[in-house]
Structure 1
Amino acid sequence: MTKLVINADDFGYSKGVNLGIIEAFNFGVVTSTTMMTNMPGAEHAAALAKDNPGLGVGIHLVVDCGSPVNDDVPSLIDETGSFHNVEGLVQFAEVADIEKEFTSQIEKFLSFGLNPTHIDSHHHVHGHERIYPIMEKIAQNYQLPIRKVSDDPKHTSNSRLQTVQCFLHEFYGNELTSRSLIHLLDKVLSYETAELMCHPAFIDEPLLTGSSYALQRVRELAILTDKEVRDAIVDRKIKLVTYKEATKQSNAF
């Protein structure tokens, strides 16, 4: 039986995103989410997480959206105090500042009184060759699983960091349907553990004006709460789990 984590990214981005994720958890197939602790909706997300203890909540580390948590990371920000975009991040960011900011975001998450299930990153920046070693170090320090970054079975993220075996990022874009999601479900059946990324949300002003991927999230929410999708998961004997259940977390790696 395949254990599948369906993780909703961007928890904490805004109230609309937060409420959409909770909707997809309570009435759909989402089992897990990762929080952006640097965004305006973080405290609202933390309160919702406490009200929905069955939802696995990890940390969505961010260095290219919004502003930093740490007030002493000069290489990460532009003249307005906001993070650089991805291109600027690669050009200007210093490794020490990235580590400092990631650590501050984790500590902020812990200050909410929540226990993180795992860590990943906004726009998958932890897959970058300069950033991955930082992510690996932090994952080991906090003893947290990390979202898979490579299909290479020899990659350290697949052996030391309690990741799942398969990561699916394809549930994203303008052409999503319930059938396309069900097709992705068939791809995980050859694995013991897998993660599928998604971005459900209700639209609010911060999301509509701040993200290039906004209206599509409403469609994702409709699909993730579609009975046809739920039935397909049951028919395939897929077990929906959190990262804690998928990786059998212990006190040490």
Structure 2
Amino acid sequence: MKKLIINADDFGLTHGCNQGILQGHKEGLISSTTVMMTCPDIVQSLALLKDVDDLGIGVHLCITSGQPLTAGQSFRDKDGAFRKRNTYLHGIDCDIDEVYQEWKAQIDTFIKLTGRKPDHFDSHHHIHLMPRFQSVTRKLSQEYSLPFRQDKRIINDQPFVQCFTDFHASNANIETLKKIIAMPEENIEIMTHPAFVDEELCRISSYSVERKVEFDFWMDSETKAFLNEHHIAITNYTKIAKH
């Protein structure tokens, strides 16, 4: 049976994101989420997950959004926050050891605040898969025995989950879902960004109103019926690791 992880990125970003993800899990198809540990209200956000059953929870590693948890300087802008994603795309580099220490701090802080280990990790803007950061990604995966989001296999000693990262408002539909489940891999992850659109989200993200489209898709009875008819098992990284 094909297994499908539906992972909601950006938990912690805003109240509307949190509520959209939680309702999308309780009443819809969201099976997993990843938490942005660099957001200002992260303690309150994590408290919302305390009694949520059967939701896979990982860490959404950041060096492109929010405030650093460590003293590293090479990834900061002039105001002390993380630099924007486009600076990394245009050749501006940063210290690899500082990135390792920052991402390690984000994972450790998650563990400290929740009392549990995350079941996987990914990153904001796919930064962990950029070639210059893959050594850090591998090191953290091995150090914490954690799987991570992959678009191709780069570590062989963990269950491989093929991630589909192009599911967004313009193609959040059944036709796209048909193409995804037709992929040959047994384990598939869909990256999604469901949310209720609040004022803060519109202020800080260029991808805002589209998130409600994704939320509606995962709540829709037609989507649920389609996956049931095709015998797709909705799962998360914790369950896959047990098999």
User: Which residue of structure 2 lines up, in the alignment, with residue 163 of structure 1?
Assistant: 160
Distance 2:110 2:181 in 1: 34
Q: TM-score, normalised by structure 2?
A: 0.93
One-letter amino acid of the counterpart of residue 109, structure 2: K
Distance 1:247 1:191 in 2: 16
Contact 1:65 1:85 in 2 (8 A): yes
Deviations 1:84-115 (A, max 9, x none): 11232451311011001001101110112232
Contact 2:55 2:236 in 1 (8 A): yes
Contact 1:18 1:41 in 2 (8 A): no
Contact 1:125 1:131 in 2 (8 A): yes
Long gaps (5+) in structure 1: none
User: Which residue of structure 1 lines up, in the alignment, with residue 97 of structure 2?
Assistant: 96
One-letter amino acid of the counterpart of residue 183, structure 1: K
One-letter amino acid of the counterpart of residue 93, structure 1: C
Pairing 1:222-233 to 2, within 5 Å after superposition: 222-233=216-227
Distance 2:127 2:19 in 1: 25
1:148 maps to 2:150 = yes
Distance 1:114 1:49 in 2: 12
- What percentage of residue pairs aligned between the two structures are identical? 32
One-letter amino acid of the counterpart of residue 12, structure 2: G
Secondary structure of the 1:92 match is coil
Distance 2:236 2:154 in 1: 22
Contact 2:19 2:195 in 1 (8 A): yes
Deviations 1:177-209 (A, max 9, x none): 432343244324x32211111000011222110
One-letter amino acid of the counterpart of residue 63, structure 2: V
One-letter amino acid of the counterpart of residue 27, structure 1: E
Secondary structure of the 1:33 match is strand
User: Which residue of structure 2 lines up, in the alignment, with residue 183 of structure 1?
Assistant: 178
Partner residue of 2:212 out of 218, 224, 232? 218
Q: Give runs of ≥4 in structure 1 deviating > 3 Å.
A: none
Secondary structure of the 1:4 match is strand
1:117 maps to 2:119 = yes
Distance 1:142 1:75 in 2: 25
Long gaps (5+) in structure 2: none
The total of aligned residue pairs comes to 240
User: Which residue of structure 1 lines up, in the alignment, with residue 39 of structure 2?
Assistant: 39
Distance 1:48 1:197 in 2: 21
Contact 2:58 2:118 in 1 (8 A): yes
Secondary structure of the 1:91 match is coil
User: Which residue of structure 2 lines up, in the alignment, with residue 14 of structure 1?
Assistant: 14
Contact 1:7 1:34 in 2 (8 A): yes
Q: TM-score, normalised by structure 1?
A: 0.90
Contact 1:7 1:30 in 2 (8 A): yes
User: Which residue of structure 2 lines up, in the alignment, with residue 84 of structure 1?
Assistant: 83
Distance 1:45 1:54 in 2: 17
